[in-house]
Amino acid sequence: MAIHLANTEAGKLICWTGITSDSLLKIMKTKLFLALVMSGVFLSAAQAQQAGNQRTFDTYAVPALSSIPRLPDKMPTDGRLSNQLRIVAAQGEFEPASFVIAPRADVTRLELKPTPLIGAGGQIPVGAVDIKVVKTWYQGGTAWYSYFGDSNRRELVPELLLNDETLVKVDREKQENYLRVGNEYRWISYPAEKAEKFFNYLTEPVADSKNLQPVQLVKGENKQIWVTVKVPENTPAGIYRGPIQLLADGRPAGAVNLEVRVLPFALPAPKTYYDTDKDYLVTLYATNVLEVARRLKLPQEDADRLQLAWYRNLIAHNVVNIRSDLNLSNKPDRAQAMEDVRHELRLLKQAGATMKPLLSSGRVAYVSNAESKEPSLYRQRIDDLARTLKEEVGHSDIYITSWDEAGVAHIKQMRELAEYSASKGLKLWVTTANNKHFNLAGYMMDYANHGGWPERQHAATWHAIGSKVASYAGPHSGVENPNVYRLWEGLARYKANYDGSFNYKYHSQLHLTLHEKWKQNTWNDFLGEKFRQFNLVYPTANGPIDTIAWEGFREGIDDVRYATKLKQVAAEAIATGKVEPMFTAKKALMWLELLDERTADLNGLRLEMIEQILKIQQAMEEGTP
């Protein structure tokens, strides 16, 4: 049995895994124990540092998801001087924790080494503990708050989650960023007038390390560390513990003790707040690689590898209703286009995406010049799509789309086109705002993606005719504050009775035809554009690089999944007809309805949802003879 000791905040030694004090004494007398103590395995950072009378650094446990940016020169006002990290997670859930290292001296190489988390029910393997360093770099002046461009000002903000912090070099004096591309660093914070050519993120050799590399500490410059535990799905409920061992320039520097409480339930797929039988669809724009890869002449094998990496990253972040390029528009070679659709469907399936319903990113419900002259061509295209889908996945339950943010003329065209697609069982999703689409064409829109922040009255309008509603641009991606996405992708949309999250977008993509002319560089936030880079991740030839905002997105949908769980167990409890479980459930539902998620502390709110779920479950157990 592994032994784990921790230094509590009060300075008392505690024994973690149920070892009796006698056993502990025996162990403590062994040479092995002494050797381990000497090596620092059992010591907290503070303890180790005090022993040598050289406190190299302090560690502050901080909420991973927070609206407070963790900056090198700011002490975490909401942090606790502690070497203990606690995570409460459901079975199968990804859950983050974080700490800030405040160096008292320079350390050239600080190594952070996770260990398996041990509990009475077994262990969570070390591979389930992912540690990243949070990279702060310069972004536009509004970066922490907005997706609007503000190239005239530079703010240091935390954003990237890296294994190797040297992937990006930051010049604090000049306020510039440099990206390691192969063996050289390239300037990625240049102004538009210095742009020379576009940056091909699909081929340029940009690669984060596969494993966490040692980090450098500079006295007085705080550094945030991000820990994500992926609880294996079959992990029994209980407490699991294990240290993250620290080595400073090769010398033991204590440990950060990680504790995970695994809850006695797994999270369900998200359902809507207003009806727990209806799926809450989680979708994002700009998740396709294949199309741009083809334009840039990437070998198919590489394109497929990257597309799968994109899909898997999306699914791991709860985006399971992946909007794909399932369309036959703009493609003169129909047979090839149909084959492309099949190919993409297979990749989606291979990655584990939800295959029903499907969502198309392409403008299927529109007419090309040729089709406008010969309507049968349009009808034939719709027939081909429906047939291909049925052959490949056994259904044609798909939401197709049309002109983006259409004006009146296009709305009227849509109405004509929808008559045929609807007759073939295809549904339509459309970007909309201010009810103009509802008033003119609501009857043929199955899924309205409403621009702006979610409000219940918008949902009520669309639900009145049986349509679904989601929203985008409230706000777009690009904001670095992770709580923006935790709130707006999560409980804010959910409680406003929306049917899903459908935001713009996963990352700024290369334009299919204008990327060279525009000299696009997804890594550069200072190109003077009206909007910042819309990056929840940064695309590379080795897969996407995550950001703290992207983790906020995942937590937002996880909040919806917890709320879904609460509503599901409440429904079960009410169905028992027994007073105690029924009243406990209804109290929980009252609480959920009354809570103001827009001003609540979301970390506290999550724990309260857990408490309500456990209370209902307990009431049902006690009510069972």
Partner 1 sequence: MKKLLALLFVVLSASSVFANEASSKKYEVRFLEKVPYGVTAWSQSELVKNARNREAHFVDYNNAAAQDLVLDATTQRDATKDTAAAARETAFYSVYNEKGWYLYIEAAEPLIDDLLDNVVDPQSPARKEGYEIFFAPGLHTVPYYQIFTRPFADATDYYDWGVSHRHYRSLKEFAKVESLPLEKGFGTFVFIPWEDVYEYLPQGEENWRFSIIRWMPYGKAGGVSWGGQVHDTGNFGFLHFQPPTAAQKTAMEKRMLRVAWFKYLATAKAAATFWDDEKLGDQEFYNSVLKPVMDEYTAQGEALGTPNDWNAVTLPKAAALRDDWMEFSYKISELRADYLRDKYFKATP
Distance, in Å, from the CA atom of 156 to the CA atom of 436, rounded to the nearest integer, reads 41
Q: Residue from 92, 141, 232, 543 that binds partner 1 (CB under 8 A)?
A: 141
Task: Report helix, strand and coil shares of the chain as percent, to nearest 5.
Answer: 35, 25, 40
**Residue entry with tokens 């609206």:** 67
Closest approach of partner 1 to the CB of residue 523, in Å: 20
Closest approach of partner 1 to the CB of residue 534, in Å: 12
Q: Residue from 472, 506, 550, 553 that binds partner 1 (CB under 8 A)?
A: 472
- Could you tell me which residues come within 8 angstroms of residue 235 by beta carbon, excluding any fewer than 6 positions away? 91, 121, 122, 124, 262
Which region among 194-202, 387-395, 429-437, 556-564 touches partner 1 (by CB under 8 A)? Answer: 429-437
Contact between 327 and 369 under an 8 Å Cβ cutoff? The reply is no
**Residue 83 vs residues 19, 56, 226, 419, 472: alpha-carbon distances, Å:** 21, 14, 14, 63, 40
Distance, in Å, from the CA atom of 552 to the CA atom of 212, rounded to the nearest integer, reads 21
Closest approach of partner 1 to the CB of residue 528, in Å: 10
Pairing of strands 223-230, 215-217: unpaired
Question: Dihedral of the CA atoms 166, 170, 172, 173 (nearest 10)?
Answer: 110
Q: Residue from 391, 416, 419, 611 that binds partner 1 (CB under 8 A)?
A: 611
Q: What is the CA radius of gyration of the chain?
A: 26
Q: Residue from 453, 511, 576, 578 that binds partner 1 (CB under 8 A)?
A: 453
Q: Which is nearer to partner 1, 348 or 549 (CB)?
A: 549
Q: How many other β-carbons are positioned within 10 Å of the β-carbon of residue 196?
A: 7
Tell whether residue 78 is a contact of partner 1 (CB under 8 A): yes
Q: Which is nearer to partner 1, 12 or 297 (CB)?
A: 12
Closest approach of partner 1 to the CB of residue 72, in Å: 12
Binding to partner 1 in span 82-111, by CB under 8 A: 86, 88
Which region among 33-41, 219-227, 234-242, 344-352 touches partner 1 (by CB under 8 A)? Answer: 234-242
User: Helix (H, G, I), strand (E, B), or coil: what is residue 266?
Assistant: strand
User: Helix (H, G, I), strand (E, B), or coil: what is residue 253?
Assistant: strand
Cα 386 to chain centroid distance, Å, stands at 32
Q: Residue from 122, 232, 474, 543 that binds partner 1 (CB under 8 A)?
A: 474
Q: Residue from 484, 491, 527, 557 that binds partner 1 (CB under 8 A)?
A: 484
Binding to partner 1 in span 488-547, by CB under 8 A: 530-531
Q: Which is nearer to partner 1, 385 or 549 (CB)?
A: 549
In single-letter form, the type of residue at position 294 comes to: R
Q: Which is nearer to partner 1, 182 or 604 (CB)?
A: 604
User: Helix (H, G, I), strand (E, B), or coil: what is residue 335?
Assistant: helix
Q: Residue from 50, 91, 123, 142 that binds partner 1 (CB under 8 A)?
A: 142
Q: Residue from 212, 247, 263, 428 that binds partner 1 (CB under 8 A)?
A: 263
Q: Please give the residue ranges that form the binding site for partner 1 (CB under 8 A).
A: 66-69, 71, 74, 78, 86, 88, 141-142, 144-146, 148-153, 155, 173, 237-239, 259, 261, 263-264, 405, 431, 433-434, 451-453, 472-476, 479, 481, 483-484, 487, 530-531, 587, 590, 598-601, 603-605, 607-608, 610-611, 614
